[in-house]
Amino acid sequence: MKLSTKIGLVSAVAAVAMAATTAQAERVRWKLHSAWGSSVPHLGTSGVRYAERVKLASGGDMQLKFFEPGALVPGNEGFDATSKGSIEAAWTTAGYDVGKVPALAFFTSVPFGPGYGEYFAWKIYGGGNEIQQEIYASNNIHQMDCFAIGPETSGWFKNEITSLDQLKGLKMRFFGLGARVMQKLGVSTQLLAGGDIFPALEKGVIDATEFSMPAMDIKYGFYQIAKYNYFPGWHQQTSVSQMLVNMDKWKGLSESQQAMLEVACGDSIHNTYAETEAVNPGAMVEMGEKYGVITKRWDDETLGVFEKTWNEVLEEDAKTDPLFKRVADSYADFRVKYAKWGAAQAIKSTYLQ
């Protein structure tokens, strides 16, 4: 064999080996911790679906292995694990990270807050996401909105609530900014992971709870202990959740890989919100007919007390926390700008007499 032929053959083999090495380096094999179990409707199932969609879209080059809460880290502790790099990604929600940064509560849901359209308008085009991503980036995390759900219920109680005085001294699992409202009304609140709520109710660690919506709450079995379920979910009319990615891992991806994860998040937001709106009407009927749940609605006067208390919380917390104030001001300013459009387009459910 001529020398030139040998050199050509060696070069070709080297090129193939380099291409194989590069392809191997481009493959993503990540651990995806979830704050919710894989069988939990909407929240957990969306994480499983997301991982499947990414794998399919990438032809198998990007694979996120879904891990149940507790398998890698406790359910609500994706923040630290992602920040430190002990896991690559977490399927979670900003409201679980308020122990790190209280202002993050704004980015899951806001009491008496906007619907899906207005909320995402603020987050994407009104500066909300910029602040949220800035906060996470300072903790070595890349944040992406990846799923959203519709209105929730506002609580499960063992007895009918006929007066807000009954809330005083109550021990209750409550989420996000709504928990601050309940605290001012005399409730002792705890933020428990979904899987920890039923045992806490059963053992009397808590007296009442809110979690999410009928399809999920049935799965957790709250109705076995607390039969009174209250509406509307004044504290969570729209809830947006996220995937957190270790910043070093994120920067190690190609632009096309980053885009693939982002596009899959958009698909997941669309799917999960539509699913909650489609499934929960039937689940609400099932709660009553099959499990004997008694559905109650707060009267307008009580809702007025919740709203007034929320406004007090907003003012008080903004005075003591500059970052909270920054987020609150961004949110409030956008709502003022949106209000004229929103009011002009508002309609009742029916105008027929």
The Cα–Cα gap between 224 and 228 comes to 11
d(CA 220, CA 70): 17
Q: What is the CATH number of the domain that holds 267?
A: 3.40.190.170
> Which CATH number fits the domain that encloses residue 168?
3.40.190.10
Instruction: Please state the domain count of the chain.
Output: 2
- The answer to whether position 6 is within a domain reads no
Closest CA to 332 of 132, 142, 110: 110
Domain that holds residue 168: 155-236+280-335
* In-domain check, residue 32: yes
**Is pLDDT at 58 greater than 60 in this prediction?**
yes
Q: Is residue 145 within 8 Å of 252, Cβ to Cβ?
A: no
Q: What is the DSSP string of 35-95?
A: SS-TTSTTHHHHHHHHHHHHHHHTTTSEEEEEE-TTTSS-TT-HHHHHHHTSSSEEEE-GG
Q: Where are the beta strands (DSSP E) in the chain?
A: 28-34, 62-67, 89-92, 141-149, 155-157, 171-173, 188-190, 208-209, 228-231, 239-246, 294-297
Both 138 and 257 in a single domain?
A: yes
Identify whether residues 183 and 318 lie together within a single domain.
yes
Same domain, 325 and 224: yes
Considering only residues 259 and 16, tell me which one the structure prediction assigns the higher pLDDT: 259
295 and 212, same structural domain?
yes
User: Cβ distance 65 to 29 under 8 Å?
Assistant: yes
Domain-embedded: residue 112: yes
Shared domain for 183 and 329, answered yes or no, is: yes
269 in the same domain as 173: no
In a shared domain, residues 59 and 183: no
Does residue 98 lie within any of the structural domains?
yes
Amino acid (one-letter) located at 294? I
Residue 212 and residue 152 in contact, taking contact as beta carbons nearer than 8 Å: yes
Written as six digits, the tokens of 250 are 């994120």
Residue with tokens 């300072």: 138
End-to-end CA, the chain: 95
- Specify whether 85 is located in the same domain as 185: no
Give the tens place of pLDDT for each residue, 155-165: 999 999 999 99
Per-residue pLDDT of 261-273, as tens digits, reads: 999 999 999 999 9
Note whether 121 and 201 are same-domain residues: no
Looking at the structure, tell me whether residues 191 and 144 fall in a common domain: no
Q: Percentage of the chain surpassing pLDDT 90?
A: 92
Query: Has residue 37 been placed in a domain?
Result: yes
Res. 21: pLDDT tops 80:
no
- Give the Cα separation of 28 and 253 in Å (integer): 8
Give the pLDDT mean for 283-300.
97
pLDDT at 17 over 90: no
- My answer on whether 249 and 330 are in the same domain is no
225 lies in a domain? yes
pLDDT of residue 108: 97
For 234-258, the pLDDT digits (tens) are 999 999 999 999 999 999 999 999 9
Instruction: Look at residue 296 and tell me if it is in a domain.
Output: yes
Q: Categorize the per-residue pLDDT at 26 as very low, low, confident or very high, splitting at 50, 70 and 90.
A: confident
Is 60 in the same domain as 205? no
Query: Quick check: is 2 in a domain?
Result: no
